[in-house]
Amino acid sequence: MGIAALVTWLITALGGFFLLYTWISNGGPRKPSSSHFPPALIFGHFALAAIGLVLWIIYLIVDSDALAWIAFVLLLPVALLGYTMFFRWLPTYRNRTTEAPAADAPAERHFPMAVVGGHGLFAFATLVLVLLTALEVGGS
């Protein structure tokens, strides 16, 4: 189950990298007044998720229960930051079909719904798989 969590975590990370690239390339950190995402929110989410992924890989190598739990605990604020971004993004997504594109449009306006949805679903699956692995449910 630990390998399954790693696979879902890596897929989640790929979607996250795409969203981060889209946000940066559309001026996210350069126009914070129009973005609903402060750079600290985006980069905090990214940093905690990356640290957790590295710890998970180390856990898979050394099989330390403490590392599994630390990775899970790190995923909790990652998930909360992710939900925060999702709920801040929803009005932008809903308004993009009714408003003409503007030069000061938020960078997150360019996020594809499929990538946002897939990122969230794989993130949830990762959280569940990491918890089940830490609880030693389903074998090692």
Q: What average pLDDT score do residues 25-29 get? A: 84
Q: Are the CB atoms for 60 and 6 separated by under 8 Å?
A: yes
Residues sharing a CB contact under 8 Å with residue 110, sequence separation 6 or more, in sequence order: 22, 23, 26
Structure tokens that stand for 128 in this block = 């569940």
Question: Phi-psi category of 113—alpha, beta or left, where left has phi over 0 and alpha has psi -120 to 50?
Answer: alpha
Select from 56, 51, 101 the least CA-distant residue to 81: 51
The pLDDT mean for the chain works out to: 89
Range with lowest mean pLDDT among 20-29, 32-41, 69-78, 83-92: 32-41
Select from 36, 45, 39 the least CA-distant residue to 95: 36
- 72 pLDDT more than 80: yes
CB-hemisphere CA count at 13 Å for 97? 6
Q: Are the CB atoms for 48 and 81 separated by under 8 Å?
A: yes
Q: What average pLDDT score do residues 86-93 get? A: 87
pLDDT interval class at 110 (50, 70, 90) = confident
Specify the higher pLDDT residue, 92 or 8: 8
Q: For 31-46, how does the pLDDT look when each residue is reduced to its tens digit (9 = 90+)?
A: 656 778 888 999 999 9
Q: What's the pTM?
A: 0.88
85 vs 33: CA distance, rounded Å: 16
pLDDT at position 50, please? 96
